[in-house]
Amino acid sequence: MKRRAFLTGVTGAALLGPALADFSPAMLPAGGVSRFAEVNGVRLHYVVAGVGPTVVLLHGWPQTWLAWKGAMERLAARFTLIAPDLRGVGLSERTPAGYDKRTIAADIAALIADVAGGRAHVVGHDMGGKAAFVLAHLYPLRVEKLVLVDCLLPGTENMDAAHGGAWHYGFHMAPDIPELLTKGREREYIAAQIRAWSHRKDAVSEASIAEFSRHYATPGGMTAGFALYRALPEDARLAASLAGNKLAMPVMTIAGRHGVGPRLAEAVGRQASDLTAEIAEDSGHFVAEEAPEFFCDRLARFLAS
């Protein structure tokens, strides 16, 4: 991502993300705590709740750590759940670069080393899933078990809308234009994207959408989100270089039947020797919210086995 594109309309102060005073404790899961860590040269915000083995939860676009609140409350009696805001998102620091999944994986590896005792189960959805996949390859000693949730591996996305691909890839990757066209309409755009990718249209609440949008609508917020897409060509090149490697840890995929379906397991199966594949039949892209009982049950079983 070009530095010029990131800095369009962004003040130096905005690079630090929204003010801490903007965070409402009422958004926390029961027993949850909001914290910050300086890792890999970036200040990351994360929420932690629960007791037991540590599970790191990585959100995707257009969400924040809050995407995991329901799952954290369901699983807190069995696991310690750590849900960070990815760099540039939510209350984490906005940086002018570093939205490629290699860098984000390095952020999370450092976070695991700093706050999780050096090793954790890692769960990633959407862009967080891409980062989790790279993390497992590059930092296998940090990952006890890997869970990928309704995402496409870097390089496997169909970005050609003329041949059945999703139109939003090209739109999000274009320099400056998506910021221009979504300015002042962030909530409407984010709501439309979430509804389009959901099978259960009411699963992601209006309150959650409002909270996601509040953060992305701050100066530089949408640019940080689009930067995750602008890094996809670089991510694809990295994934291609890892194609001959095997994932050392047990892996589970959980996809929505109306999301990526079996494509995720098919792609991961080429690199995972120990793979468990699950499909949530009545779910689209947002499995943790659309099929919460199924998601938490399958996740807990896999992590406890």
For 78-114, the pLDDT digits (tens) are 999 999 999 999 999 999 999 999 999 999 999 999 9
The pLDDT value recorded for residue 25 is: 73
Average pLDDT (18-41) is: 81
Q: Which residue has the higher pLDDT, 7 or 112?
A: 112
**CATH code, 94:** 3.40.50.1820
What the block records as the tokens of 8 is 């369009």
Domain interval for residue 19: 3-304
The pLDDT value recorded for residue 198 is: 98
**22 in catalytic set:** no
The Cα-based distances of 73 to 29, 30, 32, 126, 181 in angstroms read 6, 6, 9, 21, 36
**Confidence class for position 11, pLDDT limits 50, 70, 90:** very low
Enter the pTM of the model: 0.93
The pLDDT value recorded for residue 23 is: 63
CA distance 227 to 99: 6
Average of per-residue pLDDT values in the chain: 93
The pLDDT value recorded for residue 2 is: 36
pLDDT per residue as tens digits for the range 245-266: 999 999 999 999 999 999 999 9
pLDDT above 60: residue 276:
yes
- For the chain, the domain total comes to 1
126, 216, 235, 258: the catalytic one is 126
**229 in catalytic set:** yes
59, 137, 229, 235: the catalytic one is 229
59, 121, 125, 285: the catalytic one is 285
The pLDDT value recorded for residue 10 is: 38
**125 in catalytic set:** no
